[in-house]
Structure 1
Amino acid sequence: MSETTSRAGVALRILPALLLTGLALVGPWIAPHTVDAPVAAPYAQPGSAAVLGGDQLGRDILSRVLAGGRELVLSALLVAVLVTGSAAILGAIGVVRPVVGRMVERTADLLMLLPAVLGILLVTLSWPGGGRFAVIAAAVVLGVPYAVRLAASAAAPVAEAGYVEAAAAGGERLWYLVVREILPNLRATLLALFGLRFVAAVYLVATAGFLQVGPQPPAADWALMIRENSPGILLNPWSVVAPSIAIGLLALSVNLAASALAPQTGRKAVTVL
């Protein structure tokens, strides 16, 4: 496979994520109707007034789908960055300082025993005022324990490499070993981890929205739309199907993009003539 073909394949795998993320970010400005104004009868079928029909209050579903993804995307991106960065640093420190590593592992084991839904409820309901930041905090707390184990497993063989041991023997400080010697060699793992944590964050933030412990009505939010319109799914399926498809496509496309961007560490096949 030529380098040009390989780059084209990577670009094609990244493009859907860029398009969907960009559409979610600019969606509120291109929505054909205001998100809180009724334009049709409740659960109206698709028509000229509303391309995807109306929701439980007769509001335009297409407009609410376009406007309902921005906060989810921004929240999931922030969670994925915080979880991946925290896990990378903690995992690298843990393999360089075994005592810290054992403490991190024991804490991660305890946090992994906490069910996701219960963790969301505990954090958001105890957070002053609740809201989006409470959901982000809950998603970070629930995501780091799983991510730090993967990061530590990837960092362990790097920490045992000769150049890292030589740097440590030469008196280099901990942060130098972590930032300059270990983390740059974990790019492939961290990119893949970022994609996985973004997908997990999308589902956690969406779960919080479905439980109504994040965004509150009448906000346009994909998960909140699913909850609000589920009683009328037989009257207008698009009121539930459209935001569900949006959540699934967003998670899938970003995961594929992260996988495409991750450096290929395996050996290339060599053809013997």
Structure 2
Amino acid sequence: MSSAALAPSRAPRARVLLAVAPGALLTLLALTGPLFAPRPMDEPVTAPYAPPGPAALLGGDQLGRDVLSRMLHGGSALIGGALAVAVAVTAVAAVLGCFAVLSPAVGRLVERGADLAILLPPVLGMMLLALAWPGGRLAVMAAATGLGVPYAVRVVASAAAPVAASGYVEAAAAGGERLWHLALREVLPNLRATVLALFGLRFVAAVYVISMAGFLQLGPRPPAADWALMIRENAPGALLNPWAVVAPSLAVGLLAVSVNLAADALTPAARRAAVGAR
């Protein structure tokens, strides 16, 4: 095969790698950050809101702690929590969405749940659930999962409806296959592109909800190193040391954007694989 024929296949692969690389590098840095932190995250090393200097490359926070060290310690909890929420929401939605298009009873329950979720603003719902079940980050993660599932199920059900009406699914149903087999073996494997794109969206939504919980002090409590909590704590001194607020804000924004770009880049490849498997 000539190099000209290989070029088109290499170009999309290179674009996918370029889109995935920022998110992967940022996630790796956040997870391994504590190993590279120059100082303990709770040790005051400068005056409060000190500007960047040799003792603290990004300056000090409201208590004089090293902003860089706290940045390197604060990403793993946010990424881990958002990843757990995204996986839980996507998995539950994928299963329920497939059952919803095959079972009218499940479909009605999904519609009612989605209608209730639309009536309740996400931030308000998260506050109510987190306050009713005090538990720090776990309560926030549970609230984010519970509020995200109804929306996600509706997305999966919309994508699964044409698949459920296809000939091979009807043939399997006529052959006596059970509901769980139709949902998990016939419908779900053809929704890989939708599920992957949904995972990226739910990850970004989870970052938003968990970060918002940090701003509202519903998640981790001081002196925990958390990007969202750092923004709230250091906002009063933003004019003295902007990096205490800018650095965690950039980290949260870059994390959400990079994961969304990675999901968008991987979705076409998943769609081609799904079509080829039919």
Aligned partners of 1:31, 1:112: CA distance in 2, in Å?
A: 42
Aligned partners of 1:120, 1:27: CA distance in 2, in Å?
A: 29
1:263 is paired with a residue whose SS is helix
Q: Is the 8 A contact 1:187 1:263 kept in 2?
A: no
- Of 17, 20, 35 in structure 1, the residue corresponding to residue 26 of structure 2 is 20
- Of 50, 54, 57 in structure 2, the residue corresponding to residue 48 of structure 1 is 54
- Of 28, 42, 63 in structure 1, the residue corresponding to residue 69 of structure 2 is 63
1:108 is aligned to 114
1:82 is aligned to 88
1:197 is aligned to 202
CA spacing shift, 1:207–1:192, aligned 2, 3 Å:
same
1:266 Cα offset (Å): 7.9
1:186 is aligned to 191
CA spacing shift, 1:265–1:70, aligned 2, 3 Å:
closer
Runs of 4+ in 1 over 2 A off after TM superposition: 263-267
Give the letter for the 2:198 counterpart. L
Aligned partners of 2:196, 2:120: CA distance in 1, in Å?
A: 26
Give the letter for the 2:223 counterpart. P
1:163 is aligned to 168
Q: Is the 8 A contact 1:112 1:142 kept in 2?
A: no
CA spacing shift, 1:66–1:266, aligned 2, 3 Å:
closer
Cα deviation digits, residues 55-87 of structure 1 (max 9, x gap) = 000000011111101000000001001111111
What is the total number of aligned residue pairs between the two structures? 266
Aligned partners of 2:91, 2:208: CA distance in 1, in Å?
A: 20
Scaled by the length of structure 2, the TM-score of the pair is 0.93
Aligned partners of 2:14, 2:123: CA distance in 1, in Å?
A: 40
Aligned partners of 2:76, 2:113: CA distance in 1, in Å?
A: 33
CA RMSD across the alignment: 1.3
Give the letter for the 1:163 counterpart. Y
1:254 is aligned to 259
Give the letter for the 2:254 counterpart. L
Unaligned stretches of 5+ residues in structure 2: 1-6, 273-278
1:186 Cα offset (Å): 0.5
2:276 is aligned to none
Give the letter for the 1:96 counterpart. L
Q: Is the 8 A contact 1:35 1:60 kept in 2?
A: yes
Aligned partners of 1:6, 1:30: CA distance in 2, in Å?
A: 34
Q: Is the 8 A contact 1:139 1:204 kept in 2?
A: yes
Q: Is the 8 A contact 1:206 1:223 kept in 2?
A: yes
Aligned partners of 2:270, 2:78: CA distance in 1, in Å?
A: 32
Aligned partners of 2:188, 2:163: CA distance in 1, in Å?
A: 9
1:231 Cα offset (Å): 0.4
Aligned partners of 2:207, 2:271: CA distance in 1, in Å?
A: 30
- Of 27, 42, 45 in structure 2, the residue corresponding to residue 36 of structure 1 is 42
1:213 is paired with a residue whose SS is coil
1:155 Cα offset (Å): 0.3
Cα deviation digits, residues 136-176 of structure 1 (max 9, x gap) = 10000111121111111000000000000100111111111
1:152 is aligned to 157
Q: Report sequence identity in percent.
A: 68
2:217 is aligned to 212
Considering fraction of residues, name the structure with more helix.
2
Give the letter for the 1:254 counterpart. V
1:27 Cα offset (Å): 0.9
Aligned partners of 2:231, 2:202: CA distance in 1, in Å?
A: 23
Aligned partners of 1:33, 1:266: CA distance in 2, in Å?
A: 46
1:263 Cα offset (Å): 3.1
1:121 has 2:120 as partner:
no
1:241 has 2:246 as partner:
yes
1:223 has 2:190 as partner:
no
**Bigger Cα displacement from structure 2, 68-77 vs 94-103:** 94-103
Unaligned stretches of 5+ residues in structure 1: 268-273
